[in-house]
Amino acid sequence: MSQVEGEDPPLVELRGIVKRFPGLVANDHVDMRIRSGEVHALLGENGAGKTTLMRVLAGLYRPEGGQILMGGRAVAFRSPRQAIENGIGMVHQHFKLVGSMTVAENVLLGWSEPRVWLAKRAGVRQVEDIARRYRLPVHPDARIWQLSVGEQQRVEILKAIYRRARVLILDEPTAVLTPQEAEDLFGTIRSMAEEGAAVVFITHKLHEVVAVADRITVLRSGRVAGTTVPSETNARELARMMVGREVVLESSARVTSPGEPVLRLEGISARNDRGLPGLIDVSLATRAGQILGIAGVAGNGQRELAEVITGLRRTTAGRIVLDGRDMTNRSARAMIEAGVAHVPEDRLGSGLVPGMSMAENAVLKAYRRPPVARGPFIDLGEARKVAARMLDTFGIRALSPDAPVRLLSGGNLQRLLLAREMAERPSLIVAVHPTRGLDIGATEAVRRALLDQQEAGAAILLISEDLDEVLALADPIGVLFEGRLVAEVPRAECEVEDLGLLMAGGSGGEDRQ
Amino acid sequence: MSVRRIGPLVVERRTLTSGRTLVLLRMGAIVLALVVGAVVFVATGLPVAGSYRAMWSGAFGSLDAFAETLVASTPLILTGLAVALAGRMLLWNIGAEGQLYMGATFATAVALWYPDVPRPLLLLAMIAAGAVGGALWALGPGLLRAKLAVNEIITTLMLNYVAILFVGYLVHGRWRDPASLGFPLSKPFSQNATLPTIHLPGIGGTRLHAGFLIAVAAALLLWFVLRGTRWGYEVRLIGESPAAARYAGMPVARNIVLVMLAAGALAGVAGMGEVSGIVHRIQPDISANYGYTGIIVATLGRFSPIGVLIAALLFGALQVGGFSLQTLGVPASIVGVLQGVILFITLAAEFLARYRVRWAPGTPIEAIELEREPDEGLAQPAPMRAAGLALGEGKSGGDAP
């Protein structure tokens, strides 16, 4: 679908790139042309293969098929260094900087190493020049650990420019930035393009694409879904290209009559791990027998919301009321004992203990109570029985209750976690991305478990990035964006694309252009 | 990071180590240690077989020799446990040495102040005092770590010097025995304040004292506490995954303090055993670096109480076997070299049990890392990549560097 307009060969041309990982094709014959002086947005869902494609270009992956052409000449990068030498610079989502060294040292590091002392003084001057020219305000002698995330990103960009990058690849650059910092970044991107460089901008935020890109390539499931220019499209159409189909709404949500409110948040605010406002004035209510869906792109306050409710994060304002009792800033243990179950987003990071056995994981919350607890002692035989019952009822295929949990597949991990949380007979379930990364069978099992709990009268807060899932299970549905609950509507009134726009920071019901 | 490059070699964490690999590695380690040791003997002009025989018979050759091995391993069991227990919660207790000295000091105080209390009562009181002394010495680092996240490695290590110098102060000053001819020694303990020796059948007097039984009992008790109590479950769980422990509502900070207290108490009892079972008084050299050797013992024993027991016995045997080499005229430094070699190789084997080293020159490290753990999004099967937009490739906000 690449366009045939310029006569000159493009700065970079990717032809039929194929990259496989065990069990999936991340890039399936991808073509892409990157021209001098353009800002090229690479748009796609999570897992569409955007990052993989750019890592191939940056020499980090070797493609199984296809060609990279630079100025019409075929090149093959055997290492990231070769890619850098050919003018490819990539700013990864996770920065590759040495925290204890200065900005200038990081820029010079690994590039102009011989004669460090001589090069350093000249290097500092060069860094200052580049910083001024591209409006990247950062002090060359500051140490990386002293810098904010936005400043660290500037250092990464400086590094790429210093290494004479003609193609600058930015992987989700705005994910970590404040809106103001993002504006500044767009300014820098524009001035680089004006000087003839090409900027590839990986994103999934539509308004950014429309705001800054000259050309847009949309990837879907490892293939190019289309290439277009902003003047010929709009956010709604781009959304459709990314999703690739009309969303199938298998309505498994059951009709129930919601009961009393179980959980009420009143104007809750909380900070995120970086100390910035992560939740801002969020109010919501979940009733017994109701699934309240919270849609939103990860990093917009989902984790903070779940942690506030489960006692893992302190609030800075507002009130949490559970079953009529004020539970603001109570401990995690108090929340567990009050009947709050938690399916966390990182099942192996906090929901389960990979190095311990299934039996020991099965009683992570029940170990304080009989029959597992016997006075100060713990009855591991009883824990084994508990685990065996869970394996049985949830159809978990596992060697034995004594096998360490890390040997389980993702689907079985989540089944075990759910089985444990359900065994507590919770009145409220906070489920965060409960089916992320699971295959169809496991997804079905997880969804069925949630629906069964709903039927049994539990209130469920379903926090998910998966719009399909939210639409299939939840009613009503809210959207979190940048820490705020920007909408809460009954499912019957939900338009997929409106929700999508809200998740990407647009306002519902209008096309942004 | 789970992957690291050293020159052309790449070191990666094994996901699972098979039992066969473990057995092969450990046997290989023993053989290699013996071979390197043989090289050391040859290089210094000593008979290889004869030297090994002397070491073996020195440590295990007779009941008397074996008793000496047990005596040497007694404090190592307790300090090893003191390090291992803390290690189970990812705390590095480098302060077992100081805790041992404070335990010895407290036990000595009881022994000197109440010499005439009936023996069982006095000994129990001394054990309790030793435990309290060691525990108090670990309390500060525990509190600082739990409340202010102060690195316990530094605080426990620094307190070692304080404790050792404090003992020096006591025996140079108010506790100095007037009959010691100016040597820095306390008065000898009364008979009631000394641990009874264990009489082995056939031979009468060995130096093996009841402290050994206390140490073994402590190891078994700790093993049971970790396996069979709710508190032990919490400790193991916090060590395996602090995030999961918080998720389950466990009191992480309180357990840090409790574990440090218990670790200090174990090392303190080691100090009590040395003054009451061996030297029968307090003096500045009651410990031959037992607290520091305990770190190695704990590491070698993989932080399990039973492993510590075995590792401490191995170390005791090495020490005693080394002494008997010295009686053959082998310089003490050669014995030290040999002990170091054995230790080094055993630790290397334990490392290899957990990590795989392979030859992969030129492959960029990032590529290996990424191939091992493809992005979460990539690991997702296609049908589950949802509809809608923007299914957050940005991993949740707070990825601190």
Q: Cβ of A297 and B382 within 8 Å?
A: no
**Nearest one of B149, B107, B145, B113 to B129, comparing CA atoms:** B107
Q: Which two tokens stand for residue A254?
A: 């059951």
What chain A residue is nearest to B376 in terms of C-alpha separation?
A437
CB B392 to CB A407 under 8 A? no
Give the distance from residue B221's alpha carbon to the nearest chain A alpha carbon, in angstroms.
13
Tokens of A464: 């998910």
How many CA atoms are closer than 13 Å to the CA of B13, on its beta-carbon side?
A: 7
pLDDT tens digits for range A130-168:
888 888 888 888 888 878 778 888 899 988 888 888 999
Substitution target from A353, A494, A503 for chain B, most B beta carbons within 10 A: A353
User: Which chain B residue lies closest to A368 (C-alpha atoms)?
Assistant: B230
User: In this complex, which of B227, B233, B386 lies closest to A465 when CB atoms are compared?
Assistant: B386
Q: Check: CB of residue B24 under 8 Å from CB of residue B349.
A: no
Alpha helices in B149-196 (DSSP H): 152-172
Cβ contacts of A55 on chain B, cutoff 8 Å: 370
Interface test with B, best of A43, A45, A503 (most B CBs within 10 A): A45
Phi, psi of A360 (to 5 degrees): -70, -30
Residue B116, pLDDT above cutoff 50: yes
| Span A351-393, pLDDT tens digits | 999 889 889 998 998 888 888 888 899 888 889 988 888 888 8
Stretch A88-95: mean pLDDT: 87
Mean pLDDT computed over every residue of chain A: 83
Q: Please indicate whether residue B217 or residue B300 has the higher confidence score (pLDDT).
A: B217
pLDDT for A423 equals 87
Chain A residues within an 8 Å CB radius of B248: 332, 336, 364-365
Residues of B in contact with A24 (CB under 8 A): 378, 381-382
Chain B residues within 8 A of A368 when measuring between CB atoms: 230
Q: Which residues of B touch A333 (CB under 8 A)?
A: 249-251
Predicted pLDDT of residue B138: 96
pLDDT number for residue B130: 96
pLDDT-based confidence at residue B364 (cuts at 50, 70, 90) = low
Q: Confidence band (pLDDT; 50, 70, 90) for B226?
A: very high
For residue A150, the surrounding DSSP H or E stretch is helix A149-162
**B388 with A499: Cβ contact below 8 A:** yes
Ramachandran region of residue A420, left (φ > 0), alpha (ψ -120 to 50) or beta? alpha
Query: Considering only CA atoms, which of B73, B133, B108, B129 is closest in space to residue B296?
Result: B73
Give kind and range of the element (H or E) at residue B376.
helix B376-379
Least confident segment among B6-20, B313-327, B328-342:
B6-20
Q: What local confidence, expressed as pLDDT, does residue A121 receive?
A: 72
Cα separation, A238 vs A43, whole angstroms:
9
- Least confident range of A87-91, A420-424, B3-7: B3-7
Mean pLDDT, residues A452-470 taken together? 86
Residue A348 DSSP label: I
CB contact under 8 A, A273 and B397: yes
Chain B hits for A63, Cβ within 8 Å = none
**Taking the alpha carbons of A435, A441, A444, A448 in that order, is the dihedral positive or negative?**
negative
Q: Residue A6 class from Cβ within 10 Å (0-12 exposed, 13-18 middle, 19+ buried)?
A: exposed
Quick one: which of A172, A241, A163, A243 has its CA closest to A202? A172
pLDDT at A98 over 50: yes
The answer to whether the beta carbons of residues A225 and A217 sit under 8 Å apart is no
Q: What residues contact B266, with CB distance under 8 A and at least 6 apart?
A: B78, B79, B81, B82, B85, B131, B134, B218, B222
pLDDT at B160 over 90: yes
Helix (H) or strand (E) holding B266: helix B252-273
Chain B residues whose beta carbon lies within 8 Å of the beta carbon of residue A465: 386, 388, 390-392
Q: With bands split at pLDDT 50, 70 and 90, how would you rate the model's confidence at A447? A: confident
Restricting to B residues 244-283, those with a Cβ less than 8 Å away from any Cβ of A are: 244, 246-251
pLDDT of residue A472: 83
Q: Which residue of A has its CA nearest to B365?
A: A60
B214-218, B334-338, B373-377: range with lowest mean pLDDT: B373-377
What values do phi and psi take at A179, rounded to 5?
-55, -40
Q: Decide if B1 touches A, using CB distance below 8 A.
A: no
pLDDT digits (tens, 9 = 90+) for B66-81: 999 999 999 999 999 9
Residue A3 has pLDDT above 50, yes or no: no
Is A280:A485 a contact under the CB 8 Å cutoff?
no
Residue of chain A minimizing CA distance to B224? A377
- The pLDDT of residue B127: 96
Lowest mean pLDDT across A109-113, A251-255, A322-326: A251-255
- pLDDT tier at A502, thresholds 50, 70, 90: confident
| H or E element at residue A279 | strand A277-287
Assign A462 a pLDDT band (cuts: 50, 70, 90): very high
B380 in contact with A, Cβ within 8 Å: yes
Q: Do A496 and B387 touch (CB under 8 A)?
A: yes
Q: Average of pLDDT values for A221-243?
A: 83
DSSP for B316-364 reads: HHHHHHHHHHHHTT--HHHHHHHHHHHHHHHHHHHHHHHEEEEE-TT--
Query: Does B373 score more than 60 pLDDT?
Result: no
Q: How far is CA A119 from CA A116, A122, A254, in A?
A: 5, 5, 69
Most trustworthy range by pLDDT among A258-262, B216-220, B226-230, B364-368: B216-220
Are the Cβ atoms of A377 and B15 closer than 8 angstroms?
no
pLDDT digit string, tens, across residues B189-208 = 998 999 988 876 666 677 88
- Name the more confident of B131 and A423: B131
Contact between chains at B382 and A221 (C-beta distance less than 8 A): yes
DSSP for A351-363 reads IS-TTSBHHHHHT
CB B153 within 8 A of CB B92: yes
Segment A257-282 shows an average pLDDT of 87
Residues 6+ apart with CB under 8 A from B253: B146, B147
Percent of chain B with pLDDT over 90: 48
Residues of A in contact with B387 (CB under 8 A): 243, 245, 247-248, 466-468, 496
Distance CA B347, CA B86 (A): 19
Q: Cβ–Cβ of B392/A299 closer than 8 Å?
A: yes
Pair of tokens at residue A275: 């100390």
**Cβ–Cβ gap A172/B379 under 8 Å:** no
pLDDT reported for residue A60: 87
Query: Does B230 sit within 8 Å of A373, measured CB to CB?
Result: yes
Give the model's confidence band at A176: pLDDT under 50 very low, under 70 low, under 90 confident, else very high.
low
Q: Which region among A21-25, B61-65, B326-330, B347-351 has the lowest average model confidence (pLDDT)?
A: A21-25
pLDDT higher for A438 or B363? A438
| Distance (Å) from the alpha carbon of B240 to chain A's nearest alpha carbon | 7
Searching chain A, which residue's CA lies closest to the CA of residue B244? A350
Q: Are strands B3-6 and B9-13 parallel, antiparallel or unpaired?
A: antiparallel
Lowest mean pLDDT among A30-34, A101-105, A491-495, B242-246: A491-495
> Please, which residues 211-240 of chain B have a Cβ atom closer than 8 Å to chain A?
227-233, 236-237, 240
Residue B381 has pLDDT above 50, yes or no: no
Give the pLDDT confidence score for residue A317 in this predicted structure: 92
State the average pLDDT for chain B.
Answer: 83
Give pTM, 2 decimals.
Answer: 0.73
Which are the contacts of B53, defined by CB distance < 8 A and separation ≥ 6? none
Residue B95: predicted pLDDT: 94
Top pLDDT among A416 and B374 is at A416
Q: Residue A40: pLDDT above 90?
A: yes
Q: Which residues of A touch B244 (CB under 8 A)?
A: 349-353, 364
- Phi, psi at residue A500, to the nearest 5°? -60, -45
B49 part of contact set with chain A, CB < 8 Å: no
Contact yes or no for A353 and B240 at CB 8 A: yes
- Chain A residues in contact with B385 by the CB 8 A cut-off are 45-48, 221
Interchain proximity A152–B401, CB inside 8 Å: yes
Q: Best interface-test mutation with A: which of B13, B247, B252 has the largest number of A CBs within 10 A?
A: B247
User: What are the angstrom distances between the C-alpha of B119 and each of B116, B191, B193, B196, B279?
Assistant: 8, 8, 6, 10, 17
pLDDT at A507: 59
pLDDT of residue B344: 83
Top-confidence range, A249-263, A468-482, B279-293, B346-360: B279-293
Who has greater pLDDT, A435 or A13?
Answer: A13
Q: What is the pLDDT of residue A467?
A: 76
A439 confidence band (pLDDT: 50, 70, 90): low
**Structure-block tokens of residue A166:** 């003609």
Instruction: Categorize the per-residue pLDDT at B277 as very low, low, confident or very high, splitting at 50, 70 and 90.
Output: very high
pLDDT band at residue B16 under the 50/70/90 scheme: low
Instruction: Using the predicted structure, report yes or no on whether residue A479 has a pLDDT greater than 50.
Output: yes
What are the chain A neighbours of B397 within 8 Å (beta carbons)?
Answer: 176, 272-274, 278, 299, 303
Per CB-CB distance under 8 Å, the chain B contacts of A299 are 392, 394-397
